[in-house]
Amino acid sequence: MTLDPLTTSRQENAVETRLDAALDALAAAVEADTEGATPPPAPKTPMRLGQRLLGENLVSPEDLSKALELQAKRGLKLGETLLEMGVATEEDLLPHIESQLSVPALRLREGLIDPTVVRTLDRAFCERHGVLALFKVRGVLTVALDDPNDLDRLDLVERTTGLRVTPIFAFRASIDRMIARAYEDDFQVDSVTADMDESAVELQADITDVDLTAVQDMVGGSPVVNLVNYLILQAIRRSASDIHIEPSRKHGIVRFRIDGQLVEMIRPRRDIYPAVVSRIKVMAKLDIAEQRKPQDGRCQVIVDGKEVDLRVSTLPTVIGEKVVLRVLDKQRLTFNLDELGIPPLQLGELKQMMARPYGLVLVTGPTGSGKTTTLYSAIELIKSVHTNIVTVEDPVEYQMELVNQVQVDGIRDLTFASALRSILRQDPDVIMIGEIRDAETAKVAVQAALTGHLVLSTLHTNDSAGAVTRMVDMGIEPYKLAAALVGVVAQRLVRMVCPHCRTQHYATAEMLQTLHYEGDFNQKFSRGEGCRACYDTGYRGRIGVYEVLPTDAELRRMVARDASSDALRDWIRTSGLPTLLHGGLDLATREVTSLEEVARVTLFD
């Protein structure tokens, strides 16, 4: 039998390697014996995959036992069995498999595949042997397979291609999935969307009825669809609250609002910008021919297996339409008051407000400070089959069970005030008003609170004292407000220091005096230096600071006498009630946030 030269070479190298190792070991043993020393200990047996995963708490002993039983029955590898059971992810397993095999282990994605190299092996060969050609560098072909130590398969690939081969590990299911994608006629790698799975973003057909063929013809084909899907996918994975897509004279600009701050992500070519806008309009059922008037719509997509609502708004500018998508990911939020980070004392006071049978509760703060989340959490606390809860919102952001939600509609002349009057004829127990914007809405809300209803609403004021004077400024008689008001909650969201680039420092005396800090001036505080994980901002994630003002007899007398906001603030300070500034300084002292962030958010006088 004639051996192939490549096979002969591989086998000869393997024999030489083993022979060299044996000679080295023998020489070491002889030298140790002649010197009277004990021979070196035998090498330790490598830790098995199951032991590694248990040691890292990535699987439980029970799940591992079930996986081993299933593995014995079906003949699969342990990693594949754990994946199939859903108790571990590829990201969990690959580092340990790589360490065990001493071969790179990767999750396959389009960005790793060279479209011109993948067809070095034909599709039938790849499907039969479970291999996939990825790329070629200096005549060396890198292939993915589920057993990089299978010399027979590697020799077969070398004989078939005539190239030297370097293996990497990938799961067989991942290889099969990428084979189906890589041999499609239109397979090509886009530099932006290369790392995105085809099924990562799915448009909900029952929510938005879209003719996908017509869309592709209209917006120039799948690259634009992929780009829009990529933006949505990345926004949700990076916990962005908004996607801003705006034109400029040379290119488009896409920015994400992350933790309240805008971060530029990519700049699409100017020639595809109109197609991107058209794609989003079709998804939201907007008029793609209308480019001179603002439009609003919404759609629902499935991303990473979860449903996400997108609220779409378009605005004509002098150089094209700007589009903003508000990302409403309910699974990312919590509507549980106990999990919002409200300090225990203030949380107890808020729960007492919600236990009242009637009255007015106001939540204040600027746009994006979490007021709606607080109100929804309060409703979740008190809703039941025995309570009739009705809301009027503009727009309804999240749909809730056991709650009747009404959306303001200017076209049908359904305003906050008119909707409130209709709601009062619906025998409500609790009424939530999205926002008190005008005198008419304020008067109806106070009247409802005085006639046996618990009314919840929001205002745009700096603090709790400002909410009282704002209602009076809207024309509410002070004595009525004093009788109706149950309490006010003022809140802000502060950014938390990034854990990846956290550093400690001593604050200047000037900064501490500006913040009215009364603790130890030698206290260390934290700030973030900026890194890739936080987009060089030094912050990652947000937490709330709260100022809860419950109404007692003295406060009612002050409101009835039409006390000024300054007088109310002085009373709050002398009463010892925690303010927004106190809450921020407490977080800074515990090194959750920075002093600079506290100053930015809570100093507004």
Q: Which of 329, 355, 384 is the last residue of a domain?
A: 329
Mean of per-residue pLDDT scores for the chain: 83
Q: 407 and 550 in one domain?
A: yes
* Residue 505 DSSP SS3: strand
* Confidence (pLDDT) at 559: 94
Q: How far apart, in whole angstroms, are the C-alpha atoms of residue 396 and residue 352?
A: 27
Q: How far apart, in whole angstroms, are the C-alpha atoms of residue 602 and residue 605?
A: 9
Residue 398 · residue 358 · CB < 8 Å: no
pLDDT exceeds 80 at position 604: no
Q: What is the pLDDT of residues 231-246, one digit of tens each?
A: 998 898 888 999 999 9
Q: 287 and 178 in one domain?
A: no
pLDDT exceeds 90 at position 364: yes
Q: 116 and 199 in one domain?
A: no
pLDDT exceeds 80 at position 188: no
Q: What is the pLDDT of residues 419-449, one digit of tens each?
A: 999 999 999 999 999 999 999 999 999 999 9
The CATH number given to whatever domain includes residue 128 is 3.30.300.160
* Confidence (pLDDT) at 55: 67
* Residue 53 DSSP SS3: helix
Q: 280 and 224 in one domain?
A: yes
Packed helices 61-74 and 78-85: angle between N→C axes, nearest 10 degrees: 110
Q: 307 and 408 in one domain?
A: no
pLDDT exceeds 60 at position 40: no
Q: Which of 153, 183, 213 is the last residue of a domain?
A: 183
- pLDDT above 70 coverage of the chain, percent: 83
The answer to the question of residue 585 being in a domain is no
Report the domain count for the chain.
4
Domain that holds residue 218: 193-329
pLDDT band at 580 (very low <50, low <70, confident <90, very high): very high
Residue that wins the pLDDT comparison between 324 and 175: 324
The answer to the question of residue 83 being in a domain is yes
Q: 226 and 175 in one domain?
A: no
pLDDT exceeds 80 at position 539: yes
* Confidence (pLDDT) at 24: 52
Q: How far apart, in whole angstroms, are the C-alpha atoms of residue 15 and residue 9?
A: 10
* Confidence (pLDDT) at 186: 53
Q: 420 and 567 in one domain?
A: yes
* Confidence (pLDDT) at 84: 72
pLDDT band at 193 (very low <50, low <70, confident <90, very high): very low
The answer to the question of residue 170 being in a domain is yes
The answer to the question of residue 14 being in a domain is no
The answer to the question of residue 255 being in a domain is yes
**Residue 246 CA: distances (Å) to CA of 234, 266, 267, 277:** 17, 11, 10, 9
The CATH number given to whatever domain includes residue 298 is 3.30.450.90
H, E, C per residue of 97-146 = HHHHHCCCECCCCHHHCCCCCHHHCCHHHHHHHCEEEEEEECCEEEEEEC
**Residue 476 CA: distances (Å) to CA of 388, 440, 444, 450, 590:** 27, 10, 10, 13, 41
* Confidence (pLDDT) at 334: 77
Q: 220 and 141 in one domain?
A: no
The answer to the question of residue 202 being in a domain is yes
Q: 123 and 97 in one domain?
A: no
DSSP state of 487: E
The answer to the question of residue 48 being in a domain is no
Q: What is the pLDDT of residues 12-25, one digit of tens each?
A: 444 444 445 444 54
Q: How far apart, in whole angstroms, are the C-alpha atoms of residue 303 and residue 211?
A: 20
Q: How far apart, in whole angstroms, are the C-alpha atoms of residue 601 and residue 152?
A: 65
Nearest alpha carbon to residue 268 among 321, 370, 199, 192: 192
Q: How far apart, in whole angstroms, are the C-alpha atoms of residue 194 and residue 176?
A: 18
Q: 551 and 420 in one domain?
A: yes
The answer to the question of residue 411 being in a domain is yes
pLDDT band at 214 (very low <50, low <70, confident <90, very high): very low
Least confident piece of the model among 38-47, 55-64, 248-257, 547-556:
38-47
| Spatial CB neighbours of 124, under 8 Å, sequence gap ≥ 6 | none
pLDDT exceeds 60 at position 215: no
The alpha carbons of the chain give a radius of gyration, in whole angstroms, of 32
| Spatial CB neighbours of 582, under 8 Å, sequence gap ≥ 6 | none
pLDDT exceeds 50 at position 281: yes
Stretch 491-500: mean pLDDT? 94
Residue 513 · residue 535 · CB < 8 Å: no
Residue that wins the pLDDT comparison between 202 and 541: 541
Q: 348 and 302 in one domain?
A: no
pLDDT exceeds 80 at position 380: yes
Q: 480 and 351 in one domain?
A: yes
Task: Give me the DSSP letters along 258-317.
Answer: ETTEEEEEE--BGGGHHHHHHHHHHHTT--TT--SS-EEEEEEEEETTEEEEEEEEEEEE
Q: Which of 152, 183, 214 is the last residue of a domain?
A: 183
Exposed (0-12), middle (13-18) or buried (19+): which is 502, by Cβ within 10 Å?
A: middle
The CATH number given to whatever domain includes residue 349 is 3.40.50.300
